[in-house]
Structure 1
Amino acid sequence: MSAPSSTERAQRLYEKNIELEKNRRRSAQARVPSDPNVWQQMRENYEAIILEDHAFSEQHNIEYALWQLHYKRIEELRAHYSAAVSSAGSNTSQGVKVPPRPDRLTKIRLQFKTFLSEATGFYHDLILKIRAKYGLPFGYFSDDSESQIVMDKDGKKSTDIKKGLVSCHRCLIYLGDLARYKGLYGDGDSKSREYAAASSYYLQAASILTSSGNPHHQLAILASYTGDELGAVYRYFRSLAVDNPFSTARDNLIVAFEKNRHNYSQLPGDVKAPLVKEPAVRLSGKDRGKAEAKLASKEINMESNAAREKVSGVQDAFKSFCIRFVRLNGILFTRTSLETFADVLSLVSHDLCELLSSGPEEELNFGTHAAENALLLVRMVSILVFTVYNLKRESDGQTYAEIVQRTALLQNAFVAVFELMRHVVERCSQLRDVSSSYTLPAILVFLEWLACCPDVAVAGSDVDEKQPAFSI
């Protein structure tokens, strides 16, 4: 009798897991503790299927089933922790005197972190096994792994390496999610470290499978944790602007735009004041001597206060710019509040000019260093480009009114992108050393887009910059 094929072995393991899952559900319904070894056995079976038969694994979505096995446990632990926190808060609010039990919360949190760490180790090991199975050498992951896939004599991509990359891509996203959950329940520096680790995993996943929108969607979630609205929208757009957009990215983007609309409504209306106000001092001849003495004695304090005011003013202006810029694109994406577009664009344009500053030297008002400033402007122009792209896409069955609205929205989008980029280009031209300007990457992206889309360049040349944005 011949040995069972890989598909037959995978089928047996799959059927075994179905039976184990049924037993777990029966135990849960009967409120009987299930065998703790069952979960471990199911995980081992899923792992064996993935490494045994790729076609069977893909057909039955085994990699996702394996993650769901972990995710259900994560949800259980999160529920236990939330219940413990709620119970403690409820007793306190009702004035019930109960012995404090910080040990319970600490125990649940430790149990949660231990599980997440163990799961992280499991997925790291799984990646190593996948690498070994499909012949992926160490250091293979890079910014263009897809283009580096080994070619055979016929010029076709190596099927095995492609399979391995896809599986590693998914594992890296799961690793990012595990690190993100660690960060959610971490404190201080540990939270920042875990979020940084999650970001690293997601970026690796994006680099080895550029056609997937999933890692960008997860990066958008990370950005939302820190209140980075512009970064979140950029990542949501990236999640949509790929061959395989993430399924819920559009819905989550609309939610993000709605939150931004609320934040926008909380901003002060008057933004015409400069970033830093110079103190006005009026002195009479009689008091000038005393005043000069006081000013001399307080010179250091005044300089320190002025520096703090400048930093605070720049930070506030940058925050306002990000909120207003996201609102501008939210209007065009959701096609709501269109009558406010011209006013919002005016505010965004003013904020951008203030942050770009003036004079022969650049000021780092978009971040702490030049690279961060350059990245922010690249993201800005990328969002503007995608907004135009999204509006240019035609859908079947449009009514005449929808066609007219789409034309007007495109006009608004063109006005926005050309007006804002005009400020960036003009600022670059004013600098003493143009070659080292952090505005150059954004300008290059903008020019490459125009070169690839001559119809956009023609449309842009027809925009009368002296006229306000056309609104509906």
Structure 2
Amino acid sequence: MKTVEELWREAGDIRSTMPDILDVTNDSHSSFLYILRNLYKDIILTNLDYALDKKVEQDLWNVCFKVPISELQPKQGKKISNPILKLFLEGAAGFYMLLLQEICAQCDTNSSLCKRNAQLGIFHGPSYTLQPKNESILYICQHCLIHLGDLARYRNLLGEAEGYYKQAINVEPSSGHPYNQLALLVSARGDMLSTLFYYVRSLALKHPFPPARINLDKLLKKLSLQMSTYQKTRGGRLSAEEFLVAFLKLQGQIGLCCDLDQAEQTVNLLTLTWPSLVATEALSPTQLIRMLTITIYSVGRCTGASATDAQKRSLQLAIDVASSVFNACLTACCSLPDEQLPNSRYLCVIKLVLDWFFAQPEVLTKIKRSHLWSSAAKLLNQLQICFASNGSFTVEDDGKPLPEDLDLLEFAPLRRIAKWPSTQMTQGDENRVRAARIVQRGKWLVEQQPGCLALTHQSDGSPEWLFTSLRTDESPVDKMIENLSIEPVKEIKILARPPQRNVALTAILRQKVEDDSIPPPKQEDASNKQVTFQHTLAPPLPPVKQSSSSTNYPRPSLPPRLERLKAEQKEREQINNNFGGMYSSFGATTDLPDLSIPPPTVPPPGLGFPPPPAAWAMAGNLPPPPSSIVPPYSLFNSTAPWHPVQLPSFPINNLINPNEQQQRTMQHQLGPASLWSGPGPSPLERLLEQQKAAAMRGGTSPTKK
């Protein structure tokens, strides 16, 4: 079996004979790559510490995989599917997966992807001749996971790539390499806030990733030069999207110490907008934690004994931003009712700010917003009351990290206080543990020199420890915010439409009041006003003038044309009387005929004879009706005058007179009569006229011939 030194020399000889440009489609080049990667693999599995000292893992990735992948990838701007590239990427992923499995088997370690050999029943104990260091094992496992994520990202499997990167962070949280790869991943999605956060996390660690600093500077320069024109809404406040743009531009200005005058105005605008966005949950706790992390990193970057004036000003701006985050979360939590406060999602941000104060107490002297301490005192008292009502507030804290602690695990500004015994999350009531740690940080604040809070023990009261604020002076930052030239909030006025009334109905009622000379009603109280609808009736008919005879009723008024015809008829009657009745109708007598004689028979219709009379007209043997009985009105009985109210009378003493006969003759000459042209002969009258004419001629009825 070859030693590790012999394997290393053999790998060096093969690499020296390899061409500068590798082509995987060439058989000779493919054989070189195959032999070289197997030699590197044997060196890693034989002596891991020796392989890491010689940087074998880096040569394995760069020479055997990265360079051939770069040659196979399409040029910029071209999207061409290359089946050879896809096959090569799948083969590379399989190689690193197998290498990770063999390393875990050699070291007898457990990971999220690989099980121990004892669990698989293969063998017991490690198989390395020289057992490698624990740091070397974690490093090589993280190295394999990172490149598995890179290969998945090249295949456009972004979800799988993110999973590999996060597993690499769990293996070794103090290394910045996986954070840099996560930044590259989210940058392709366009999430600038997460990109900036991961670059910061990649640098603020025990083992930072050096290329991440170059990437961060490029990103800050890009953010500082982006367009800052945004529309102000709701009293000068910004929307969530505009807020993120302004925050990122501010971080670019603070990180590069440029355009600080504009940065100061942006800080005031963000301070004004922050509480409303947090209260409406337009910003999630994850976004606030990342904003706070970036700001804390900027504070540490600008701190130093040899800091310039621009850096000192940038430091103060960064502290103002962090205090604005703290104030916005305090305002949102204090406004919640007691039953909702323990489940507030923003308590984790408050805890991280207090942890930062505990890790760097010198920051407290540079906080200019004094009124946030009164909100902090209110929150500390309210937390004690909420949890004391559900049982004892004191809880056994095992010291394990909470979810927000895992997000900032190994973060350099908080590393001094984050000495967790393990990376496992606290089991049990997380809300109670979080509240207990917040109150513990509040008690620590009382002991500080700036005198932010005061503490009083209440033996019989609730809460047990009463917090009060000691700094009530007006903050210069608050004055600047009050003097900030922003657009005032426009009040929304709801214009109530005045009550409408019916103008026509009002005019009718007013006219009725004037006609009847009724005084207007008295004005009553508005609360007792009632709407009364009055029914306006038509005026009564004028009284009818009664004549000497109670059986004669006047005719109703006729249209003008009929009145004119009636006047002409009266003139003819007058002429007839003056000239001896020359217009009389056949000299008819006024004697009544004998009604006892039966009427003649009438031939069937269609023989040229007049139509038969009505049945009731042929009943000549019936006695005449009494004068007290008024017959019903009929359209066929036109002898009686018609009136809409008065009923016609039935003449008894005189059925036919000469004047009526003459009037019917004149109407016959003028044309057919209508309902409005006056009375006409009834069937009985026509029968009597026929009988009278036959008697005058001395003849008999046609039916008797």
Name the TM-score, length of structure 1 as normaliser.
0.69
Residue 380, structure 1, aligned to residue 295, structure 2: no
Structure 2 equivalent of residue 203 of structure 1: 166
Aligned to 1:250: 213
Alpha-carbon spacing, 1:163–1:468, altered in 2? closer, same or farther (3 Å): same
Identity %, equivalent residues: 25
Asked if 1:411 is matched to 2:347, the reply is no
Number of the residue aligned with 2:362: 455
- Computed over aligned residues only, the root mean square deviation of the Cα atoms, in angstroms, reads 2.9
Q: How does 1:24-43 map to 2 (within 5 A)?
A: 24-25=18-19, 34-43=28-37
Please give the residue correspondences for 1:167-246 in structure 2 after superposition, counting only pairs within 5 Å. 167-183=140-156, 194-246=157-209
Tell me, yes or no, if structure 1 residue 119 matches structure 2 residue 88.
Answer: no
User: What is the rounded CA distance, in whole Å, between the counterparts of 2:178 and 2:87 in structure 1?
Assistant: 25
Structure 1 residues 134 and 23, CA gap change in structure 2 (3 angstroms): same
Going from structure 1 to structure 2, the CA distance change for 1:421 and 1:28 (only over 3 Å counts) comes to: closer
Match of 1:85 in 2: 78
- Distance across 1 between alignment mates of 2:106 and 2:315: 50
Post-superposition shift, 1:33? Answer: 6.5
Give the distance between the partners of 2:235 and 2:317, measured in 1 at CA: 27
Query: Could you give the per-residue CA deviations for residues 443-467 of structure 1, whole angstroms, max 9, x where no partner exists?
Result: 1111111122221123225773324
Task: For 1:83 and 1:206, locate their aligned partners in 2 and report how far apart those are by CA, in whole Å.
Answer: 31
| Preserved contact between residue 123 and residue 175 of structure 1 (Cα < 8 Å) | yes
The change in CA–CA distance for 1:242 and 1:131 in structure 2 (over 3 A counts) is same
What's the CA shift string for 1:349-395, capped at 9, x where partnerless?
344334224xxxxx4423xxxxxx2211111211121111221244x
Q: Which residue among 246, 251, 267 is the counterpart of 1:345?
A: 267
Q: How does 1:16-165 map to 2 (within 5 A)?
A: 16-25=10-19, 34-68=28-62, 69-78=64-73, 81-82=74-75, 85=78, 105-106=80-81, 108=82, 110-139=83-112, 160-165=133-138
> Residue 225 of structure 1: CA displacement?
0.9
SS at structure 1 position matched to 2:155: helix
What per-residue deviation string (whole Å, max 9, x for no partner) do you get for residues 208-258 of structure 1?
Answer: 212211111111111211111111111111111111111121211111122
Matched to 1:50, the amino acid is I
Contact 1:134 1:160 in 2 (8 A): no
* CA apart distance, 1:10: 2.2
> Residue 303 of structure 1 corresponds to which residue in structure 2?
none
**Alignment of structure 1 residues 209-358 onto 2, 5 Å:** 209-263=172-226, 265=227, 267-273=228-234, 317-357=239-279
User: What CA distance in whole angstroms lies between the structure 1 residues aligned with 2:235 and 2:336?
Assistant: 21
Picking from 338, 348, 354, the partner of 1:441 is 348
TM-score for the superposition, normalised by structure 2 = 0.47
State the distance in 1 between where 2:235 and 2:41 align.
Answer: 60
Aligned to 2:469: none
Q: Which has the higher contact order (CA 8 A, sep 6+)?
A: 1
Asked whether the 8 Å contact 2:22–2:68 carries over to 1, the reply is: no
Residue type at the aligned position of 2:290: R
Q: CA 1:119–1:387 in structure 2 vs 1: closer, same or farther (change >3 Å)?
A: same
Q: Give the CA deviation at 1:434.
A: 1.7
Q: How many angstroms apart in 1 are the aligned matches of 2:177 and 2:22?
A: 33
Alignment partners' CA distance in 2, 1:159 and 1:34? 35
Give the match's secondary structure for 1:67: helix
- Describe the shift of the 1:18–1:354 C-alpha distance in structure 2 as closer, same or farther (beyond 3 A): same
Code of the aligned partner of 1:268: T
The answer for unaligned runs of 5 or more in structure 2 is: 115-130, 371-474, 482-705
Give the unaligned 5+ runs of structure 1.
87-104, 142-157, 184-193, 277-315, 358-362, 367-372
Q: Deviations over 1:382-432 (max 9, x none)?
A: 1121111221244xxx4xxx5333322222222221123212211221123
Q: Which has the higher helix share?
A: 1
Secondary structure (helix, strand or coil) at the match of 2:478 reads: coil
Q: Note the C-alpha offset of 1:28.
A: 6.4
1:466 partnered with 2:461: no
Report the counterpart of residue 327 of structure 2 in structure 1: 422
1:365 is matched with which residue? 282
Contact kept? 2:257, 2:311, Cα under 8 Å: no
Question: Quick check: which has more Rg, 1 or 2?
Answer: 2
Deviation per CA, 1:119-165: give whole Å up to 9, x if none: 11111111111111111025499xxxxxxxxxxxxxxxx95433211
Q: Structure 2 CA distance, aligned partners of 1:343 and 1:162?
A: 47
